[in-house]
Amino acid sequence: MNTAIILAAGKGTRMRAEFNKQYLLLKGKPIIAHTLDVFERSPLIDEIILVINKDDIALCKKNILKKFKFKKVVKIITGGAQRQDSVMNGLLHISQESKTVLIHDGARPLVTKEIIKRCIEGAEKFGAVSAGVPIKDTIKIMKDDGFVSFTPKRENVWITQTPQGFKSEIIRKAHSFAAKENLFGTDDAMLVEEMGIQVKMVEGDYENIKITTPDDLITAEAILKHKRR
């Protein structure tokens, strides 16, 4: 059994909107509805745990779940103070039968069923994976004084995306470990790495962008327009 935890509890302050960015329209449809639709249509996903802001419960039930009739969303739960807390809340509600867990940002509506498939297969094989893409530009690692420390090889530098996939026992242990050791990571793979477990990168997509600013919304609109041609 495979579970997807979709995180949609953030405020999205950089979007400069009057409400949660997840409910902004992208080609006439809320961002979070686009995201959920991909996981709903994936034959590899058995259940979806949706993590939202407590202030958005009524809005989400009426304008997303009821309107679009998502059948795989088995639970709606509220998020925590930080992303890490929201993931932990989600992990507490997955089915006991779940063997693989994908964790995905609700603000990445352009995820594909192919990426989901690669993450699930990778998690089953390696235990922990993250979708990502190789960097296109040359990267400079800086020192505190503003001078260049070194230049890593481009082929060794990837942009991390979501979904990130894990065997359920691994990601549960990682979050328990982080809570015990007071560790905070910018993503879930980082917590797994802190336990000494290797994370395998699997192919994402350059179009699998996270909508954070108004410019990102314009880019996502252009990508969807191109795909529908």
User: How sure is the predictor about 229, in pLDDT bands with cuts at 50, 70 and 90?
Assistant: very low
pLDDT in tens, 120-142: 999 999 999 999 999 999 999 99
Does the predicted model carry a pTM greater than 0.85? yes
Q: Which domain holds residue 176?
A: 2-227
Query: How many domains does the chain fold into?
Result: 1
Q: Say how far apart CA 188 and CA 184 lie, in whole Å.
A: 9
Instruction: Please write down the long-range contacts of 40-43, taking CB distance under 8 Å and 24 or more positions apart.
Output: 40/70, 40/71, 40/72, 40/73, 41/113, 42/113, 42/116, 42/117
Roughly how many angstroms between the first and final C-alpha of the chain, as a whole number?
A: 35
Residue 134 maps to which CATH number?
A: 3.90.550.10
Give Dmax (Cα) for the chain: 54
The pLDDT assigned to 228 comes to 60
Average pLDDT over residues 177-203: 96
pLDDT in tens, 92-101: 999 999 999 9
Q: Where are the alpha helices (DSSP H) in 29-91?
A: 31-41, 57-60, 67-68, 83-91
